[in-house]
Structure 1
Amino acid sequence: MKKFMNKAESMVAESLEGFVLAHDRLVMFGSARKFVRRRHLTPGKVAVISGGGAGHEPMHVGFVGPGMLDAACTGHIFTSPTPYQIIAAVEETDTGAGCLLIVKNYDGDLMNFEMAAEAVTGRHRTETVVVSDEIAVQGAGRSSGRRGVAGTLVVEKILGAAAEAGMDLVGLKALGDRLNKRIRTMGVALGGVTVPDTARSTFVLNPDEMEVGVGIHGEPGHSRQKLVDANTIARMICDNILADIELQNSDRALIMVNGFGGTPTPELYLIYNIVRRLFEARGISVARSLVGTYVTSLDMAGLSVTLSMFDEKGLRFWDDPISTAVLQWGCAKH
């Protein structure tokens, strides 16, 4: 295994320090370096907090900033942040309107965020939105039911914009729960993940195989199949997503093609070209697109496709200004 690192056990801390230095106009460390937060908080706004294990960068720290997250808590690689990290983020970013916790549906994340919310009861108001956008749940590891994967980015952007616009904590919770039902994701991998702590790949595929239904922690999918061409892979993904999502005539779609860390950009755009045509052939009006490497599984060779169905308000929240290390458009204040 070859990695640009000093020691596996210090890799996350050193990486976060570099991230904060590179983007110090937007972000800073919170107390005792337990989390990364916006440099400038907005008094009276609901604080939007998320987090998870390292290894998914740029999620979540790359989404901290005006128009999206107020804070992100990062655990060790593929390990949930501790309740103490989350408590510290709540204590420091709550400016009076409470905190919305956005949590991916993984057992460790759910447990630690729940413990943190219970610990601050009486001092801070919190609500939790659990993201569970993955459609491939058969044999899913690390979670009960649908896992939260690339659709987490969409939830964080929409709720971050709604909080920026002044929506209260109860409204944000309700919006998040509705939104979670309208986002579906499916991933396919061509190779496993090399975890620095173990120096071993999480799973090994033969040259003519692919793993279908993978998560974002290097875990295998629900089935191992023969590798086929991109058209066939894209059609399989689209068919599975469309069989699992409710479509309404007035809705417009966001298509996101996300790389897992080891997939070249041209391959992501190639898949986008195919899935967009397939979705449009099924009568879906595609209004927005996002293609790139945003929600990763370290160096996994693979990608996911996310279909998000929006009403006009949802589209406006997506288009609202944002200024983070990774996503920037409009003219967000900072």
Structure 2
Amino acid sequence: MKKFINSIESLLDESERGFASAHADIVRFNAEPRFMARTAPRAPGKVALISGGGSGHEPLHTGFVGLGMLDAACPGQVFTSPTPDQMLAAAQATETGGGVLFIVKNYAGDVMNFEIAAEMLECPHDTVLVHDDVSIPEHQGMGRRGVAGTTVVEKIVGAAAEAGMDLDGCKILGERVVRATASMGVALTSCTVPALGKPTFEIADNEMEMGVGIHGEKGRERMALAGATEIVEHLTQAIDGELKPAAGQPALLHVNGFGATPLMELYLVYHLAREFWGKRGVNVVRSLVGNFTTSLDMAGCSVTLTLLDEEMIRLWDAPVHTAALRWGC
């Protein structure tokens, strides 16, 4: 394993300190318990948006802390949920009288620890659970995983909170975005967790994992490697079958890289996905392409479609200033 690290134990702390130094105009780092908070002033009564999860998915979530998105993010160790004390401290540090909204990806550890933190929080609070991965059945086990659609939820709800929407309104909006969002990914290689020192799973050079999770979890099937058009057809058909968009429906198309896929290939995937929905009359009015919900060094990508209404378009376009997303400021 070749990695730029000093030790497994110090990797996350040194990385977070580097991130905070590089973006000191946007975030401040609280080392114990660990969380990243925005430096931009918050209006009294603004709903505080808190998210988090295991590290290794950067820029999710710390890269989305700032004006117009998250007020704080809690990073756990690589692919490991943050602890309740991190979440509680982040909420207490950023709440200004409007309550706290937790945005949580649907993984057992994240759900449990955010629930524990919420029970200890004395101010008004609520949760939006993101479960956009259509590669697994909706009612299997814990249900569907929260993956790249989390970025869309955090941006739209973040803009609403910045504009003064109250806690109930932010929760209702967040759940509406979740219902309108579907994602599916494919892996060409495994990722290597530093503490493990070897690939998370074995996959042959002529194979791909269709429907893979962002931690390298098993997908819906192991398939023979195919051309880009066939790969995108598998992803887009699954998403289209879930959302069933009508002709003329405005949509956001998000193609997300898992960390080791060049932008040249991601834009090819975007082109093919946009063609797929264009033939069905779906109106892709907003786009996002790049590495936003990664899986360390995995080669692969995911496609996300969000069906938009006028309010969601306006909130997507609203100013945002974070390390990973910034426009309108």
TM-score range with shorter-chain normalisation?
A: over 0.9
Unaligned runs of 5+ in 2: none
For 1:226-282, what per-residue CA distance to the aligned partner results, in whole angstroms no more than 9, with x for missing partners?
A: 001001011111111100114255631000000000111100001111110111101
2: CA distance, partners of 1:133 / 1:71: 22
- Give 3-state SS (helix, strand or coil) of 1:30's partner: strand
In 2 relative to 1, CA 31–167 (structure 1 residues): closer, same or farther, beyond 3 Å?
A: farther
> Could you tell me which residue of structure 2 aligns to residue 205 of structure 1?
203
1:1-334 to structure 2, matched below 5 A, reads 1-30=1-30, 32=32, 34-42=34-42, 43-120=44-121, 123-137=122-136, 144-248=142-246, 251-331=249-329
RMSD: 1.5
Alpha-carbon offset, residue 222 of structure 1: 2.0
In 2 relative to 1, CA 45–249 (structure 1 residues): closer, same or farther, beyond 3 Å?
A: farther
Determine what percentage of the aligned residue pairs are the same residue: 54
Which residue identity does 1:206 align to in structure 2?
A
Unaligned runs of 5+ in 1: none
Q: Which shows bigger deviation, 218-227 or 159-168?
A: 218-227
2: CA distance, partners of 1:96 / 1:125: 9
1: CA distance, partners of 2:31 / 2:93: 8
On the 8 A contact 2:138/2:144 being kept in 1, the answer is: no
On the 8 A contact 2:251/2:286 being kept in 1, the answer is: yes
In 2 relative to 1, CA 235–127 (structure 1 residues): closer, same or farther, beyond 3 Å?
A: same
Alpha-carbon offset, residue 139 of structure 1: 11
For 1:130-168, what per-residue CA distance to the aligned partner results, in whole angstroms no more than 9, with x for missing partners?
A: 000000115999x61110000000000000000011100
- Give 3-state SS (helix, strand or coil) of 1:35's partner: strand
2: CA distance, partners of 1:61 / 1:41: 17
On the 8 A contact 2:180/2:243 being kept in 1, the answer is: yes
Alpha-carbon offset, residue 111 of structure 1: 0.2
Which residue identity does 1:328 align to in structure 2?
R
TM-score norm. by structure 2 comes to 0.97
On the 8 A contact 2:254/2:288 being kept in 1, the answer is: yes
Which residue identity does 1:255 align to in structure 2?
L
For 1:84-122, what per-residue CA distance to the aligned partner results, in whole angstroms no more than 9, with x for missing partners?
A: 0000011110000001100000000000000000011xx
Alpha-carbon offset, residue 40 of structure 1: 2.8
- Give 3-state SS (helix, strand or coil) of 2:243's partner: coil
For 1:14-71, what per-residue CA distance to the aligned partner results, in whole angstroms no more than 9, with x for missing partners?
A: 1000000000001002373520000133122100010000000010000000000000
2: CA distance, partners of 1:28 / 1:80: 21
1: CA distance, partners of 2:246 / 2:139: 29
On the 8 A contact 1:41/1:93 being kept in 2, the answer is: no
In 2 relative to 1, CA 203–20 (structure 1 residues): closer, same or farther, beyond 3 Å?
A: same
- Give 3-state SS (helix, strand or coil) of 2:69's partner: coil
1: CA distance, partners of 2:323 / 2:31: 21
Which residue identity does 2:114 align to in structure 1?
F
Which residue identity does 2:95 align to in structure 1?
D
> How many correspondences in the alignment?
328
Which residue identity does 1:111 align to in structure 2?
M
On the 8 A contact 1:52/1:60 being kept in 2, the answer is: yes
- Give 3-state SS (helix, strand or coil) of 1:8's partner: coil
TM-score norm. by structure 1 comes to 0.96
